């Protein structure tokens, strides 16, 4: 994602700035890789609490030929129980291939608080962010109560529109995204998932990894304030859930919480 941001604006940089930019990318990549390797060495054999904090919003977003044809909205899907699905999926993966001990504890209070506070999401993500003391205290309080070593925070993440080449930003979480250029439409269903490893004693960030899974939508897409949205999201729910499951599996494996099974 860092590379994509750089690529769009690289034409305004001098040769000196190219060199500086390359060094920055190398440093950031090294920090990210180092954090992942640290997690891989720390997590196996440890006790963890899983804290998913996705909202119940199915995003619907359209980017048109001009900004005047852009629109977006969301549809609430509380019946999906998305966070319950994530916990169940993680439990199943750890039961069959786990290298950690998953603790079962009531997370409802901190989960509700975190979902309501957008700043909480920014505070627990990786490079470029720092955990505010309030959030550290909240997380460490949960960790101490559970007698856990680490808290695994699972949150929504968005993406630049690198797939369709526009300057739009696909909203964090899951849903439908469509790009229309001079009457040509392309659409996808997606789920963006980030996993952050938090030290349960201090509330400090240890490592993060993320994945933005998507698939082309070949059947009827969504329209602005679509009257058929209920029918369509029920049709597309299995695809979204599969994207989430695949993201969780690969990310947990990358962090050292799952053994290889492929």
**What is the total count of domains within the chain?**
1
pLDDT tens for residues 141-182?
A: 899 999 999 999 999 999 988 777 777 889 999 999 999 887
pLDDT tens for residues 43-88?
A: 899 999 999 999 999 999 998 877 778 899 999 999 999 999 999 9
Whether the pLDDT of residue 128 is over 70: the answer is no
In a domain, 70, yes or no: yes
In a domain, 74, yes or no: yes
In a domain, 177, yes or no: yes
pLDDT tens for residues 80-92?
A: 999 999 999 999 9
In a domain, 127, yes or no: yes
In a domain, 209, yes or no: yes
In a domain, 259, yes or no: no
Please give the average per-residue pLDDT across 103-128, as a whole number: 74
Smallest CA-to-CA distance from 217 within 198, 193, 201, 233 is with 233
Which residue's structure tokens are 């309080």? 141
User: Coil, helix or strand for 218?
Assistant: coil
In a domain, 261, yes or no: no
In a domain, 260, yes or no: no
Predicted pLDDT of residue 121 = 63
User: Domain of 14?
Assistant: 2-254
Question: How would residue 123 be classed by pLDDT, with cut points 50, 70 and 90?
Answer: low
pLDDT tens for residues 197-254?
A: 999 998 888 988 999 999 999 888 899 989 999 999 999 999 999 999 999 999 999 9
- In sequence order, the 6+-apart residues with CB closer than 8 A to the CB of 248 are 86, 89, 90, 93, 154, 193, 195
Predicted pLDDT of residue 16 = 42
What burial class does residue 203 get, using C-beta atoms within 10 Å of its C-beta: 0-12 exposed, 13-18 middle, 19+ buried? buried
- What 190-193 contacts at long range (C-beta under 8 Å, 24+ apart), as own/partner pairs, is 190/159, 190/214, 190/215, 190/243, 191/240, 191/243, 191/244, 191/247, 192/156, 192/157, 192/158, 192/159, 192/247, 193/154, 193/155, 193/156, 193/157, 193/244, 193/247, 193/248, 193/251
What is the distance between the alpha carbons of residues 24 and 2, in angstroms, rounded to a whole number?
10
> DSSP per residue over 18-67, as a string?
HHHHHHHHHHHHHHHHHHHHHHHHHSTT-EEEEEE---SEEEEEEE-SSG
Predicted pLDDT of residue 4 = 32
Predicted pLDDT of residue 2 = 33
């Amino acid at each position: 994602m860092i590379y994509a941001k750089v690529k769009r604006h690289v034409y305004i940089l001098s040769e000196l700035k190219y060199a500086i930019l390359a060094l920055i990318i190398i440093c950031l990549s090294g920090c990210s890789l180092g954090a992942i390797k640290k997690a891989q060495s720390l997590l196996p054999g440890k006790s963890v609490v899983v804290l998913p904090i996705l909202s119940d919003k199915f995003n619907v977003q359209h980017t048109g030929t001009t900004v005047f044809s852009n629109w977006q909205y969301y549809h609430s899907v509380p019946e999906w129980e998305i966070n319950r699905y994530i916990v169940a999926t993680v439990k199943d993966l750890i039961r069959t291939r786990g290298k950690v001990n998953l603790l079962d504890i009531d997370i409802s209070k901190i989960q509700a608080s975190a979902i309501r506070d957008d700043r909480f999401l920014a505070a627990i993500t990786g490079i470029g962010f720092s955990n505010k003391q309030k959030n550290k205290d909240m997380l460490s309080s949960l960790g101490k109560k559970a007698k856990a070593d680490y808290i695994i925070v699972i949150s929504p993440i968005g993406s630049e529109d690198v797939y369709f080449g526009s300057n739009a930003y696909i909203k964090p979480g899951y849903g439908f995204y469509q790009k229309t250029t001079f009457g040509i439409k392309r659409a996808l269903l997606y789920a963006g998932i980030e996993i952050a490893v938090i030290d349960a004693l201090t509330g400090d960030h240890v490592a993060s990894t993320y994945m933005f899974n998507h698939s082309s939508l070949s059947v009827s897409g969504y329209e602005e304030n679509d009257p058929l949205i209920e029918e369509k999201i029920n049709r597309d729910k299995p695809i979204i859930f599969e994207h989430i499951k695949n993201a969780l599996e690969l990310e947990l494996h990358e962090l050292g919480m799952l053994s290889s099974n492929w």
